[in-house]
Structure 1
Amino acid sequence: MYISAKADYATRALLELAHEPGRPLTCEVIASSQGIPFRFLKSVVGELRRAGLVRSQRGCEGGYWLGRPADEVTLLDVVRAVDGDVLTLRGAPLDALGYPGPAAPLPGVWRQIETGAAAVLGGLTLAALLPAGAREQPSEVGAA
């Protein structure tokens, strides 16, 4: 399985936001803290915003917050927001995949792998990945 840079960067950015729920963070701060290229992070955060995983505020006190509480955002949400499908074959979705003859069972194997990966990703929230002392309370999301 291939984990894209977009999915990795998106998750790291969201963890930064979950760690600091009481104030907005700029892309510059997140990029610097996580060692993520700023330009790439800007486009990733745009995708997260369109998916409702972050919200933004313009201005000198602006920045980004989580769009939902950290305990409601799974890694599956993040991957689907920036990559679409969890697993693809040469960039194509597995839905209509079919092979002839002795290779006919193989698409089922790929689908099982995708199902397993989605189950793992769907079972992990941002809150679960934060150190115990840094876990946000759901009521703190967007408080500022």
Structure 2
Amino acid sequence: MELSCKTEYALLALLELARQYNAAEPLQIRQIAAQQHIPDRYLEQLLATLRRGGLVKSQRGAKGGYLLGREPWKITLLDLVNCLEGSDAQPSTKETIHKSVESAVIDEIWKEVNETAYQVLHSYTLQDLCEKRDARRQLDIMYYI
């Protein structure tokens, strides 16, 4: 399974907003794009989708920009995937009347894969990713000392 480019960029943008969460200062698209190396126009579309999904909120004006729509510990990776891909983002299995034994076995495995992926996505929050990122940065700093 691969992370789509759209989901990865959205996650990078959310991580950048989470980094600034305690400051309660909105970030402009160009700031997020520059920090995370995301094309401005694409990020603009992603943030609009995330805003409609309630994951981010926008603030107008000269000091405007984007903020997280909820606390980082209340945004799961599943929330992000559902927002971008729709709540029915799970691959469908073909229902046929005369299914072979092999097809039934494959369907069972894919159902298990989907359930496991759902559990993992539901268990990780944006806060968890921030903590993992900070721990990794700390390890990188220790490595260079």
Bin of the TM-score, shorter chain as denominator length: 0.7 to 0.9
Q: From the two aligned structures, give the one with the greater helix fraction.
A: 2
**Matched residue type, 1:101:** S
Check the 8 A contact 1:98/1:104 in 2, yes or no: no
Q: Higher mean Cα deviation, 104-113 or 4-13? A: 104-113
SS at match of 2:66: strand
Q: Which stretches of structure 1, 4 residues or more, deviate above 6 A after TM superposition?
A: none
Q: Which SS does the other structure have where 1:111 is aligned?
A: helix
TM-score, reference length from structure 1: 0.81
**CA–CA distance in structure 1, aligned partners of residues 131 and 114 of structure 2:** 28
2:100 paired residue number: 101
Match of 1:31 in 2: 33
TM normalised by structure 2 equals 0.80
Q: Secondary structure at the match of 1:104?
A: helix
**Structure of greater relative contact order (alpha carbons < 8 Å, 6+ residues apart):** 1
- Listed one character per residue, the Cα deviations across residues 38-94 of structure 1 (whole Å, up to 9, x for unaligned) are 111111111100000000011111000000000000111111111224442xxxxx2
Q: Which residue of 2 aligns with 1:118?
A: 118
SS in 2 for 1:56: strand
Instruction: Check the 8 A contact 1:25/1:63 in 2, yes or no.
Output: yes
- For residues 9 and 31 of structure 2, the distance between their equivalents in structure 1, rounded to whole angstroms, comes to 14
Pick the structure with greater CA Rg: 2
Report sequence identity in percent.
40
- Structure 2, gaps ≥5 residues long: 135-145
Quote the residue 1:63 is aligned against: 65
